[in-house]
């Protein structure tokens, strides 16, 4: 039983990280119908930014918790700026071209950012400090749950709640939902669609960066390539839940996290990625619109 | 109030509007009639800035709309009810209406206008918390008009409000358009294929064929015009 609970917690942690990333995929897809393949790179840049900041701040002698908070916030802002710029440079100019152009532009952006970080930083793995403080009350639990796992899950939950509130009740949230359903109509009502798209990239990039910082603090190492697999997994999670749907992305992420964690724990950890992609294939065969996705609606 | 001067609009190499000139005076209802594909929708889309003319000017209260972005055009006082209604299907009726007032900051005025549109179309107030996509065609058209009224426009552009609706509903909607025009002094630019209804409610009319204006006059005169009778009224 404790083994089961341990795997459950581990799946929850993975799912949380996937969710922080998958949100960006699904929100961007919801509005401009683009799979932003460079999204994983934003997550990686977030982790690098936090690493650089953490090194500087620890020289300055701050405690781990303050470093974590400051590094996360700065990484989120910095990555959001990357996301914003990326949209302006790589996606906006091809928005009215064929969809394939934007997709290729996204792949190009992904390769560019990976190699840029490789050249500007290093191609080696770098150690990432364990910034998350130790909570002793977790030791009382009968199964293994680290402080990092606890913080990752709580942070993700808070982000989800804030985001749900933003989308549902605020003016910008309403304009985002409107633009995702009918951009021209949103424009006819006075919504500045360019701004809505920019805000979407800002939010998606910030949550991805937060995911990058948290997971790096948990795994303890980063390199320029970490965004690639994480990005693909989060994309699988978004498709699993129904791309374009925010609750879907969250659900898909947890389903994926648990599938990987239980698959690895009960069958074999060598096949972890196989489980992830097998579930993608299954969902594409049996429910192509995803768990919570809306069936393709015809535009009249 | 609105003045299109020699507007030419292209889709790729196809010319959709050829030297179109239309003038709309404050407080009137004008109608633009014509067959499918004549360029009526393009005319309205050019006014609201979704489609950009290659040449010509579109003046609204002495501002050239060609220089403004679509959201600035809404802010200037032009509201567009597009063809096919385009209700946000997954937003509630209330949220659709809220988006109509997207650019407004006077919450007291917005609340009053909300009451006003519920008075015009009481059915919407019953459907308030229902998703827009679940409404019937007629209700969606009512919602589309109400949504645009929430912006409190001085000029209302309407594209085929009668499309696909039962004659009784069309009658009701047109009566309300006249009422809006009379009570609030909202200027209305109505594009219609249902030429008979449109010519009956409007003050002046334009007839469009293949992207050009071929005829314009008072609607009373147009209703008696042999050409119009034959081509559009089916007499």
How far out from the chain centre does Cα A191 lie? 27
pLDDT averaged over chain B? 94
Q: Is A66 on the interface with B (CB under 8 A)?
A: no
Tell the CATH topology of A2-286: ABC transporter involved in vitamin B12 uptake, BtuC (1.10.3470)
Distance CA(B73)–CA(B123), nearest Å, equals 30
Mean pLDDT of A289-296: 81
For B129-194, give the DSSP string: TSBGGGS-HHHHHHHHHHHHHTT--SEEEEE-TTTT--HHHHHHHHHHHHHHHHHH--EEEEEES-
What are the structure tokens assigned to A229, written together? 């697999």
Quick: pLDDT tens for B116-142: 999 999 999 999 999 999 999 999 999
Residue A293 in this model has a pLDDT that exceeds 90: no
Q: Percentage of residues in chain B with pLDDT exceeding 90?
A: 91
pLDDT score of B230: 87
Provide the pLDDT confidence category of residue A1 given band limits of 50, 70 and 90.
confident
pLDDT score of A194: 95
Provide the pLDDT confidence category of residue A238 given band limits of 50, 70 and 90.
very high
- Smallest Cβ–Cβ distance between B50 and the set A184, A192, A300 belongs to A184
CA B206 to each of CA A128, B18, B31, B198, B199: distance values in angstroms, whole numbers, following the listed order: 71, 14, 6, 11, 10
Distance CA(A273)–CA(A260), nearest Å, equals 7
Q: Which residues from A are below 8 Å from B90, CB to CB?
A: 177, 181, 294
Mean pLDDT of B192-206: 93
pLDDT averaged over chain A? 92
Selected for mutation to probe chain B from A171, A176, A185 (highest B CB count within 10 Å) is: A185
Mean pLDDT of A137-166: 89
pLDDT score of A297: 52
Residue A135 in this model has a pLDDT that exceeds 90: no
Does residue A30 contact residue A249 with C-beta atoms inside 8 Å?
Answer: no
Residue B109 in this model has a pLDDT that exceeds 70: yes
Q: Percentage of residues in chain A with pLDDT exceeding 90?
A: 77
Residue A133 in this model has a pLDDT that exceeds 90: no
Number of domains in chain B: 1
Of the candidates A1, A83, A14, the one whose C-alpha atom is nearest the C-alpha of residue A273 is: A14
Residue A298 in this model has a pLDDT that exceeds 50: no
Chain B 110-149, residues with CB within 8 Å of chain A CB atoms: 147-148
For residue B22, the SS3 value is strand
Q: Which residues contact A71 (CB under 8 A, 6 or more apart)?
A: A49, A50, A53, A54, A57, A131, A213
Q: Is A174 on the interface with B (CB under 8 A)?
A: yes
Query: Is the Cβ pair B86, A190 closer than 8 Å?
Result: no
For chain A, give the DSSP string: -HHHHHHHHHHHHHHHHHHHHHHHHHHHHHHH----TTHHHHHHHHHHHHHHHHHHHHHTT--HHHHHHHHHHHHHHHHHHHHHHHIIIIIGGGTTS-HHHHHHHHHHHHHHHHHHHHHHS-SS-EE----SPPPGGGGGSSS---HHHHHHHHHHHHHHHHHHHHHHHSHHHHHHHHHHH-HHHHHHTT--HHHHHHHHHHHHHHHHHHHHHHHHHHH-EE-TTHHHHHHHHHHHHHHHH-TT-HHHHHHHHHHHHHHHHHHHHHT-GGGHHHHHHHHHHHHHHH-TT-SSPPP-PPP-
Distance CA(A260)–CA(A98), nearest Å, equals 35
- Ranges of each domain in chain A: 2-286
pLDDT score of A137: 81
Residue A300 in this model has a pLDDT that exceeds 60: no
Residue B177 in this model has a pLDDT that exceeds 90: yes
Chain B 44-73, residues with CB within 8 Å of chain A CB atoms: 48-50, 69-71
Question: The dihedral of CA A149, A150, A153, A154: what is its sign?
Answer: negative
CATH of the domain at B150: 3.40.50.300
Residue A11 in this model has a pLDDT that exceeds 70: yes
Give the helix/strand (H/E) hosting B79: strand B78-81
pLDDT score of A140: 78
pLDDT score of A99: 85
Query: Is the Cβ pair B99, A187 closer than 8 Å?
Result: no
Distance CA(B48)–CA(B42), nearest Å, equals 10
Chain A: nearest CA to B124, how far in angstroms?
19
Domain limits at B105?
Answer: 2-233
- Smallest Cβ–Cβ distance between B74 and the set A178, A189, A300 belongs to A189
In this structure, are strands B155-159 and B78-81 parallel, antiparallel, or unpaired? parallel
Does residue A241 contact residue A247 with C-beta atoms inside 8 Å?
Answer: yes
Of the candidates B112, B109, B107, B85, the one whose C-alpha atom is nearest the C-alpha of residue B96 is: B85
Q: Which residues from A are below 8 Å from B100, CB to CB?
A: 189
Q: What angle do CA B42, B47, B50 make, to 5 degrees?
A: 65
Mean pLDDT of B208-227: 93
Mean pLDDT of A41-66: 93
pLDDT score of B235: 64
Q: Which residues from A are below 8 Å from B86, CB to CB?
A: 182, 184-185, 188
Mean pLDDT of A82-102: 93
pLDDT score of A81: 98
pLDDT score of A296: 59
Mean pLDDT of B207-234: 91
Q: Which residues contact B5 (CB under 8 A, 6 or more apart)?
A: B21, B56, B57, B58, B59
Quick: pLDDT tens for A169-216: 999 999 999 999 999 999 999 999 999 999 999 999 999 999 999 999
């Amino acid at each position: 039983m404790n083994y089961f609970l341990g795997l459950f917690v581990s799946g929850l942690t993975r799912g949380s990280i996937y969710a922080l990333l998958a949100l960006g995929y699904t929100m961007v897809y919801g509005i401009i119908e683009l799979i932003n393949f460079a999204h994983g790179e934003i997550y990686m840049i977030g982790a690098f930014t936090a690493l650089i900041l953490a090194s500087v701040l620890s020289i300055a002698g701050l405690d781990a918790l303050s470093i974590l908070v400051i590094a996360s916030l700065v990484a989120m802002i910095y990555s959001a700026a990357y996301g914003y710029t990326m949209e302006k440079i790589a996606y906006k100019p091809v928005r009215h071209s064929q969809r394939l152009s934007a997709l290729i532009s996204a792949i190009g952006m992904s390769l560019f950012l990976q190699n840029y970080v490789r050249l500007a930083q290093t191609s080696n793995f770098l150690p990432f400090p364990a910034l998350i403080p130790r909570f002793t009350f977790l030791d009382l639990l009968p199964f293994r749950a680290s402080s990092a796992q606890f913080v990752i899950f709580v942070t993700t939950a808070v982000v989800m709640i804030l985001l749900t509130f933003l989308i549902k009740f605020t003016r910008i949230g309403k304009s985002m939902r409107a633009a995702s359903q009918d951009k021209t109509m949103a424009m006819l009502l006075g919504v500045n669609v360019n701004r809505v798209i920019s805000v979407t990239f800002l939010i998606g990039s910030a949550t991805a960066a937060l995911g990058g910082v948290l997971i790096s603090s948990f795994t303890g190492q980063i390199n320029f390539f970490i965004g690639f697999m994480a990005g693909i997994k989060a994309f699988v999670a978004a498709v699993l839940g129904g791309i374009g749907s925010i609750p879907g992305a969250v659900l898909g992420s947890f389903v994926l996290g648990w599938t990987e964690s239980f698959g690895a724990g009960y069958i074999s950890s060598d096949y972890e990625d196989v489980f992830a992609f097998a579930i993608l294939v299954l969902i594409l065969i049996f429910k192509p619109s995803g768990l919570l996705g809306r069936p393709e609606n015809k535009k009249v | 109030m609105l003045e299109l001067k020699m507007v030419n609009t292209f889709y790729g190499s196809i010319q959709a509007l050829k030297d179109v000139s239309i003038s709309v005076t404050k407080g009137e209802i004008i109608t633009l009639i014509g067959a499918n594909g004549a360029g009526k929708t393009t005319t309205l889309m050019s006014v609201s800035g979704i489609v950009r003319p290659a040449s010509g000017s579109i003046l609204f209260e002495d501002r050239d709309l060609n220089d403004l972005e679509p959201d600035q055009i809404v802010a200037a006082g032009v509201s567009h009810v597009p063809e096919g209604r385009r209700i946000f299907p997954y937003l509630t009726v209330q949220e659709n209406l809220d988006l109509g007032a997207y650019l407004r900051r006077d919450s007291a005025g917005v609340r009053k206008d909300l009451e006003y549109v519920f008075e015009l179309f009481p059915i919407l107030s019953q459907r308030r918390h229902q998703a827009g996509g679940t409404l019937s065609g007629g209700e969606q058209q009512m919602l589309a008009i109400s949504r645009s009224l929430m912006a409190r426009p001085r000029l209302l552009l309407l594209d085929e409000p009668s499309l696909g609706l039962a004659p009784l509903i069309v009658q009701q909607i047109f009566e309300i358009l006249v009422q809006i025009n009379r009570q609030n002094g909202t200027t209305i630019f109505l594009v219609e294929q249902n030429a008979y209804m449109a010519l009956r409610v409007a003050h002046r009319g334009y007839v469009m064929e293949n992207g050009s204006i071929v005829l314009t006059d008072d609607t009373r005169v147009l209703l008696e015009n042999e050409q119009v009778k034959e081509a559009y009224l089916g007499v």
